[in-house]
């Protein structure tokens, strides 16, 4: 097993996750099987209970793990399915150690950060790295991203564990990549001092970077690279420029041009094979059309909907269509904001705020024949909107939202749940699609597996009435309704599951493909009129 550990300095949000995924992609293009681990230094067990407006999207893995959005990037870039063990948090590590102490596993020893916590961290990394994937094979290379910034007190035990691993592994089995910031001053000069201090902080912890990925607004030149090399003892060839890019999928190509794969293969004594360029061709397809999609959201941060944004991009690439997103606040938007968009998307979410605005948007899409895609909460609100304005149940609502006629009810197994973390209906579930429906046509089959994250379902007491009023439930999981659609609408589809969690550039999600295609047709009709 080869390990590539990615750390970050100067500030958070530099793009360690994309850098990690991109390096993995460079190696995958050379025929190596790559897996990935994300270390999050927060005390939470997982990301499930964290406020998305502060932390960003909660990504759901196939086994139901609620994890950091970077694991979504790993899956999309590397075409792999990760599990909960691939996300290591301080909370998980300390819980495991404390449980061992309570069982008496340490035989009366005083439990300390070193060796007990660091040993547990190393065990977690090794276990995740050696988890079988892709047809039962173990990966050749494990990417390990250490979250946070070097110097943060929260990251110290993890960096100490990395230092211990570095001392025990052969030099060619571990590589340390440090992502840092090289800002530009008002005179247009690149400033290397933040990088110098960041590497100094890393060295004080006993770690010397092998490669520096220098984040900047523009390409850094040879002189700046030489200066960084001089102050950090990193060879010039291993100082890599990573400028801002308009599309994250361009970054592996930019790093390829910088020669990063050559350096990585040299350090790890890997055969530097000729790269397969098929993935590059997929993510570089030219656009011949453009559509605008309105996403009616209650959170003001786009990272909350990272997988949705990327899934629209994947579908757009497959259809040579650039998808522009118009973000609309669910509480303040006006109907005129929807008039000139080519499609409307209602994403998932929790809580009562913004619900009525989303329902208005769904009604607008249904009544004005505007292509519509609803996801999770969007599916539930679609049922509520139909019950109110077609079935005539004026006070139709969800049990989550309070008083009214609950056409959406809590799942029976959720009624007595008291702990919020990790207790929803999570991860992969088998879904059966009804033959001859739109959704079955999109998937090209009637048996699918998709990922879930919810506590509520369509109330069984109202299913017959909703069907009788014309709403088609075209997907089910046992007795639960999973997909609804309206047959005589240009495109009206809502799913209880989250199809965006399985979408990638090489495997775009079928509901998103159908939605973007419908948006193209809607735009064409509008232009003709």
Residues noted as catalytic: 376, 498, 500
* Nearest Cα residue to 504 out of 312, 291, 304: 312
- Asked if residue 529 has pLDDT above 60, the reply is no
What would the pLDDT profile of 202-231 be if each residue is shown by its tens digit?
Answer: 999 999 999 999 999 999 999 999 999 999
What are the distances in angstroms from CA 271 to CA 171, 275, 387?
Answer: 16, 11, 61
For 427, left (φ over 0), alpha (ψ -120 to 50), or beta? left
Please state the rounded mean pLDDT for residues 423-428. Answer: 88
Between strands 59-60 and 480-485, the pairing is unpaired
Strands 372-375 and 425-433: unpaired
* pLDDT-derived band at 351, boundaries 50, 70, 90: confident
pLDDT on residue 527: 65
- 528: pLDDT strictly greater than 70: no
pLDDT-based confidence at residue 134 (cuts at 50, 70, 90): low
Which helix or strand (DSSP H or E) is residue 252 part of? helix 251-257
SS3 121: helix
Q: Dihedrals φ, ψ of 138, to 5°?
A: -95, 140
What's the pLDDT at 486? 97
| Percent of the chain whose pLDDT exceeds 90 | 85
Mean pLDDT of 46-53: 84
Neighbours of 323 (CB within 10 A): 26
Report the mean per-residue pLDDT for the chain. 93
pLDDT tens readout for residues 497-512: 999 999 999 999 999 9
pLDDT score at 382: 97
The CB density around residue 101, as the number of other CB atoms within 10 Å, is 15
User: Which pLDDT tens digit goes with each residue over 372-419?
Assistant: 999 999 999 999 999 999 999 999 999 999 999 999 999 888 877 777
Give SS3 for 219.
coil
Helix ranges, 130-209 (H) = 156-168, 193-204
Q: Give me the percent of the chain exceeding a pLDDT of 70.
A: 99
Is residue 7 predicted with pLDDT exceeding 90? yes
Burial grade of 45 (CB within 10 A; 0-12, 13-18, 19 or more):
middle
DSSP 113: I
462 exposure class (CB count in 10 Å sphere: 0-12, 13-18, 19+):
buried
Coil, helix or strand at residue 325 = strand
Q: Which of 280-284, 292-296, 301-305 has the highest mean pLDDT?
A: 292-296
Mean pLDDT check: name the lowest of 90-94, 474-478, 524-528.
524-528
Encode pLDDT of 74-84 as tens digits. 999 999 999 99
pTM of the model: 0.94
């Amino acid at each position: 097993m080869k390990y590539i550990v990615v750390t970050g300095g100067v500030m958070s949000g530099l793009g360690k996750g994309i850098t990690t995924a991109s390096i993995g992609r460079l190696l995958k293009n050379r025929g190596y099987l790559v897996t990935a681990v994300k270390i999050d230094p927060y005390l939470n067990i997982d990301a499930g209970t964290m406020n998305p407006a502060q932390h960003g999207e909660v990504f759901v893995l196939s086994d139901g793990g609620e994890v950091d959005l970077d694991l979504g990037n790993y899956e999309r870039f590397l075409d792999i399915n990760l599990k909960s063990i691939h996300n290591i948090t301080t909370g998980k590590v300390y819980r495991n150690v404390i449980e061992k102490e309570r069982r008496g596993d340490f035989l009366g020893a005083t439990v300390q950060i070193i060796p007990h916590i660091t040993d547990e961290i190393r065990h977690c990394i090794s276990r995740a790295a050696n988890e079988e994937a892709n047809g039962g094979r173990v990966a050749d290379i494990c990417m390990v991203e250490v979250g946070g910034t070097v110097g943060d007190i929260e990251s110290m035990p993890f960096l100490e564990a990395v230092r211990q691993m570095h001392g025990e592994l052969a030099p060619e089995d571990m590589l340390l990549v440090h992502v840092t910031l090289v800002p530009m001053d008002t005179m247009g000069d690149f400033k290397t001092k933040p990088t110098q201090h960041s590497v100094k902080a890393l060295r004080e912890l006993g770690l010397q970077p092998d490669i520096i990925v220098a984040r900047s607004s523009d390409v850094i030149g040879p002189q700046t690279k030489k200066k960084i090399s001089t102050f950090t003892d990193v060879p010039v060839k291993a100082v890599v420029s990573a400028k801002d890019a308009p599309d994250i999928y361009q970054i592996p190509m930019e790093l390829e041009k910088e020669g990063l794969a050559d350096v990585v293969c040299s350090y790890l004594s890997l055969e530097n094979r000729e790269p397969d360029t098929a993935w590059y061709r997929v993510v570089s397809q030219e656009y011949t059309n453009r559509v605008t999609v309105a996403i009616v959201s209650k959170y003001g941060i786009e990272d909350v909907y990272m997988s949705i944004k990327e899934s629209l991009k994947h579908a757009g690439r497959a259809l040579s269509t650039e998808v522009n997103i118009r973000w609309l606040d669910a509480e303040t938007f006006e109907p005129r904001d929807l008039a000139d968009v080519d499609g409307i998307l209602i994403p998932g979410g929790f809580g009562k705020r913004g619900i009525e605005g989303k329902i208005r948007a769904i009604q607008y899409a249904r009544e004005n024949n505007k292509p519509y895609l609803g996801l999770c909460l969007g599916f539930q609100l679609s049922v509520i909107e139909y019950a109110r304005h077609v079935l005539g149940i004026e006070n139709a609502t969800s049990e989550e939202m309070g008083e009214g006629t609950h056409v959406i009810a809590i799942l029976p197994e959720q009624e007595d749940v008291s702990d919020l973390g990790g207790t929803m209906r999570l991860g992969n579930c088998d879904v059966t699609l009804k033959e001859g429906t739109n959704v079955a046509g999109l998937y090209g089959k009637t048996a699918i597996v998709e990922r879930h994250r919810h506590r509520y379902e369509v109330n069984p007491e109202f299913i017959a009435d909703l069907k009788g009023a014309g709403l088609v439930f075209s997907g089910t999981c046992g007795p639960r309704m999973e997909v609804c659609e309206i047959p005589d609408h240009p495109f009206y589809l809502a799913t209880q599951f989250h199809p965006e969690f399985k979408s990638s550039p090489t495997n775009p999600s079928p509901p998103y493909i159908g939605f973007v295609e419908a948006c193209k047709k809607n735009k064409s009709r509008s232009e003709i009129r």
